[in-house]
Chains A and B, each alone.
Chain A
Amino acid sequence: MNATAQAIAAASAVPLQVRSLTHRYESKVVLDHVDLALEPGSVLGLIGRNGAGKSTLIRAMLGLLEPESGDALVFGEPALKLSDTAKERLGYVPQQPDALAWLTAAQMFDYLSRFYPRWDHRFVKDTMQRWKIEADKVMAKLSPGERQRVDLVRALAPQPELLVLDEPASALDPVARRELLREIALRAGEAGATVLFSTHIVSDLERVASDIAFLHDGRLLLHCPVDETKERYARLWLPANVAAAAPGSPLGKRRHEDGSLSVIVECDANGAWPEASRLPGARVDTLGLEDLFVEIAE
């Protein structure tokens, strides 16, 4: 392959991909053979309970952590040996940003802008003003919410093609969260950026994510488009007398104290729910993502 062909292949490569990623902290398995790939232009919401392995997965995907086994690729390159070109196309906001805390935001922006040819000075100025953050204050003295927003501005300013946000909304108030979501949504739509963000706040994800991945106990339980998730899965409730006829479900089954049963079911290609939904007393409830998440994670 000549250099041009290689460049084209790299540019069109899947922005982010992991294959059979496994990782342990001491003896505890935190990632168990995770396979995941992001389509260009998609917005993937990674959801899971605290401690489900979200941050570990993100860090391994970006090569910030060497997994025990498996591959992580960024724009087709091994994450652990990323070229500068690939790094320029990537923006990452860690859960608790603390880098360069002795600088003011203005100093940090000025310093970093020299490394990025596509640095958007106007965006930085407008956003800092809109968010009313003092650019001349040492970052260590900012509130956690302000610090997180400064880091978002820092990550968005180089106009990255791939944006990775680890719990980006955790320190933000509802108004700032909504602004962040708007920014994510429009970046993905107009600039065609690919976005991965982790959260345990499901409503954030429902607004802007095109796809959703459920991480539970280090395993990826579900990965599909948000709309399809809502249309394809439901909760089937069976009263005690017919509970024995419940279909098997890999996703979640809960027996209640009175002997009744809730089970997550999937509709077939024609949109029909399993046979058991027509049993006397049976009820099918369509679910929002939050309910589905609770059913699966419990």
Chain B
Amino acid sequence: MSRNGPFALIFHTLFIAFIVAPIVIVCIVAFTPEGYLSLPTKGLSLRWFRAIADYPEFVRAFRDSLWLAALSSTIAVLFAVPAALAIARHRFIGREAMLAFFMSPLMIPHVVLGIAFLRFFTTIGIGGTFIGLVLSHIVIVMPFALRLVLAASIGMDRTVEHAAISLGAGPVTVFRRVTLPLILPGVVSGWVLAFITSFDEVTMTVFIASPSTITLPVRMFLYIQDNIDPLVTSVSAALIFLTVIVMVMLDRFFGLDRLFIGASR
């Protein structure tokens, strides 16, 4: 790292310390053997990780979060693929407006979306249901799915499709055998980013969750509002470990920087 001077490296070290400090502290405190929040100075203990099993509400919330994220990102991708192909391949009046409309959930504060969905769902009678959660999460993950599928569709070489058509393939065959495989990296990374976005969402979900259908981040948030103890710390640490494992896998398959830069454009 010869190109950075000593000041740059000191700055960099402080920056990295700032970034990892709160994450590392959660992981350390979670191993405390004491009954209260403390640094584990007298040895490490797994008692607070074992204690999670005695609180089925966290386990249930985790399971519901996984289902919610998987369902909403899959449905969002199913809607996003044809929409992305339409925007990537056709020039029509209202194209820009259509794209802006699909991207709008990124611009609207999630508090506003939460309030809007709470009002809407209670009015039509699906307040506090899992269906409501899925519908609302489809909306917030759609921009991520659409953006990555769109990038893949624009970059795709269409001569392969034309070759397939000239060899007599019908539209369904062309899509299934040629188009889909070519845009698949975009579809998969769009789905992954949508899944993570849905899984981590708390601001909007806190408005529309109910005691019977609640996600893990909302469950943790409500718990922390009452009190901060080693239990919620170990739940957070477990979630951090899980995320890091997923992150390492994603970095292997996609390159994390590509996923992020693709998403931020």
User: Is B truly associated with A?
Assistant: no
Question: Which B residues lie at the A interface, using CB under 8 A?
Answer: none
